[in-house]
């Protein structure tokens, strides 16, 4: 707030003490009871007016006031203002700086504002825009993604059950062009599928995706180094993008997403609140229609709309989509067993026999199972959903199984005979029931471990009961022992006959013939 002007008497006294007595500003201020800055101001004005001490006799108070406080100069013609909306729009393009836009402005208006005033007035213009508009986002650089808090109910016409569908929203940084769709869940398959469809909706790929630290996409939320889900990393690599999750408790990191979600809730979900949908496809058709209207709505504080800005800014800057669409896959780890197979959803898939005992990384999609060792793919199989089945590639099998494998059919039968004839007969049946004997090794090794847990006598009794029931598996023997059924009396019966001989069935002589076996199993 400006200080009241001193009287002419005090002003003359300031000049007398300053120029006549050579006192300091501090002493003058203390003497007259004014601030030191006030003293300095009047001395400066007198110097600029060309006054000296003593003052001329003809200089009365009116003339002194006119010299110290001259009337302001007549304002010059106003300088041409830049088109701030165009400046704001152009600034989002790659390589465009505020200095470059000022130089172009000065070429058209040589008498225009200098660079400092140009920047200051542009900041004032930005201050009038919404927060989401004021953030500095380059064309084609970022897309912000999140789920809305509101859901869309979908009615099952058959059961009458209502399921809440989730609204996925993606917003491009420069143009605010928005994508939205509903999915059944927020789980990883739906999360990644929404990304794929969003990129296809945009017709290109941005440089960066900024998600919230959603559990589906971020495996281990962390302020500094959030750990992405492996499948999310794979999608990022497929599209050549980087994923930079928003920091926890930093809403400005995801302001675009939150603003886009708010708009989608108001202009899509709120408008559909009285509609009844019976299928997810039907709901998405209506969401698509409402989304088109949202992207065509004019901005309130700028010219144009989201679609127009997208066509001018983001679309030319997006990178092209890859030739192949991303196929969702889940990752897990699996250990290669002695039969050179891994287990994926209770089905057995082969890898090369030299990888026995190694830890594998497995990627499973709807159609394939890929096996990786130290980031190198070592096997690929068509996916099977048959529990307990085997998918074996002949090239994965050793040339001479019994000469090179640590565990052989001979060795297993010899070990089983040490327990008793019933156990030996059970092992024969297990090996004969598989297309390849090696596929029965896992069950036989499991039965081997049961001897340590339950004793040799009980295992022999359990094998007897399993043979009588025709249950040729590890699970059956383990269940008999665990429930104590081996202690119950059963009717004695002779050894069960082998199945009818054919090319794929081995008789008892096969296992008792002389071979190059290893030491007997312990």
Which has more pLDDT, 386 or 125? 386
Q: 3-class secondary structure for 106-174?
A: HHHCCCCCCHHHHHHHHHHHHHCCCHHHHCCCCCCCEEEEEEEEEEEEEECCCCCCEEEEEEEEEEECC
Q: What is the mean pLDDT of the chain?
A: 81
**Torsion angles phi and psi, residue 169, rounded to 5:** -130, 135
pLDDT at 455: 87
pLDDT at 445: 82
Whether the pLDDT of residue 321 is over 50: the answer is: yes
Average pLDDT over residues 226-250: 77
Whether the pLDDT of residue 408 is over 80: the answer is: no
pLDDT at 85: 77
Check if the beta carbon of residue 389 is closer than 8 Å to that of residue 347: yes
Where helices occur in 219-374 by DSSP H, the ranges are 230-239, 255-264, 280-296, 306-309, 315-317
- Confidence band for 253, pLDDT divided at 50, 70 and 90: low
Q: What is the pLDDT of residues 151-207, one digit of tens each?
A: 999 998 888 899 999 999 999 988 889 999 999 999 888 999 999 999 999 999 999
- Residue 61 CA from chain centroid, whole number: 76
Q: What is the rounded CA–CA span in Å between residue 182 and residue 451? A: 55
Whether the pLDDT of residue 463 is over 70: the answer is: yes
Average pLDDT over residues 415-421: 87
Show Cβ contacts of residue 352 under 8 Å, excluding neighbours closer than 6 positions.
340, 378, 379, 395, 396
H helix or E strand, kind and range, residue 441 = helix 441-454
pLDDT at 182: 95
- Confidence band for 133, pLDDT divided at 50, 70 and 90: very low
Which tokens is 246 given?
């928003």
Whether the pLDDT of residue 513 is over 60: the answer is: no
pLDDT at 512: 44
Above pLDDT 70, what percent of the chain?
A: 82
């Amino acid at each position: 707030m400006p200080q009241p002007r001193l009287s002419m008497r005090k002003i003359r006294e300031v000049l007398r003490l300053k120029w006549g007595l050579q006192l300091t500003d501090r002493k003058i201020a203390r003497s007259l009871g004014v601030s030191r800055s006030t003293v300095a101001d009047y001395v400066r004005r007198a110097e600029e007016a060309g006054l000296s001490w003593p003052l001329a006799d003809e200089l009365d108070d009116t003339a002194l006031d006119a010299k110290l406080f001259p009337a302001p100069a007549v304002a010059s013609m106003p300088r041409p203002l830049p088109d701030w909306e165009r400046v704001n729009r152009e600034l989002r393009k790659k390589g465009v700086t505020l200095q470059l836009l000022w130089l172009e402005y000065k070429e058209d208006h040589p008498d225009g504002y200098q660079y400092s005033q140009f920047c200051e007035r542009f900041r004032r213009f930005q201050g009038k825009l919404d927060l989401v508009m004021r953030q500095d986002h380059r064309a084609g650089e970022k897309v912000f993604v999140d789920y809305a808090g509101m859901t869309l109910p979908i009615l099952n016409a058959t059961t009458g059950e209502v399921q809440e569908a989730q609204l996925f929203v993606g917003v491009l940084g420069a143009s605010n062009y928005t994508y939205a769709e509903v999915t059944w869940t927020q789980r990883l398959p739906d999360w990644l599928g929404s990304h794929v469809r969003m990129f296809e909706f945009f017709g290109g790929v941005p440089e960066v995706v900024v998600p919230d630290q959603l559990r589906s996409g971020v495996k281990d939320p962390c302020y500094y180094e959030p750990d992405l889900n492996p499948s999310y990393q794979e999608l990022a690599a497929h599209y050549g993008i980087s994923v930079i999750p928003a920091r926890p408790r930093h809403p400005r990191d995801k302001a675009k997403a939150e603003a886009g979600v708010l708009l989608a809730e108001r202009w899509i979900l709120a408008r559909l609140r009285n509609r009844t949908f019976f299928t997810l496809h039907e709901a998405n058709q209506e969401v698509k229609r409402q989304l088109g209207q949202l992207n065509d709505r004019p901005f309130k504080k700028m010219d144009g709309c989201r679609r127009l800005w997208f066509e001018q800014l983001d679309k030319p800057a997006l990178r092209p989509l890859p030739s192949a669409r991303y196929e969702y896959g889940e990752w897990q780890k699996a250990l290669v067993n002695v039969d050179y197979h891994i287990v994926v959803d209770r089905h057995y898939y082969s890898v090369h026999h030299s990888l026995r005992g190694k830890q594998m990384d497995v990627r499973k999609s709807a159609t394939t199972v890929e096996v990786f060792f130290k980031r190198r793919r070592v096997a690929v199989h068509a996916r099977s959903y048959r529990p307990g089945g085997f998918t074996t590639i002949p090239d994965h099998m050793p040339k001479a199984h019994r000469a090179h494998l640590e565990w052989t059919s001979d060795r297993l039968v010899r070990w089983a005979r040490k327990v008793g004839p019933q156990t030996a007969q059970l092992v024969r049946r297990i090996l004969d029931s598989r297309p390849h004997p090696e596929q029965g090794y896992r069950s036989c090794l499991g039965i081997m471990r049961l001897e340590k847990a339950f004793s040799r006598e009980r295992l022999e009794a359990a094998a007897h009961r399993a043979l009588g029931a025709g249950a040729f598996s590890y699970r059956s023997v383990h269940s008999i022992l665990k429930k104590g059924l081996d202690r119950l009396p059963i009717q004695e019966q002779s050894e069960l006959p082998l199945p009818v001989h054919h090319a794929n069935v081995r008789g008892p002589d096969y296992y008792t013939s002389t071979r190059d076996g290893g030491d007997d199993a312990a």
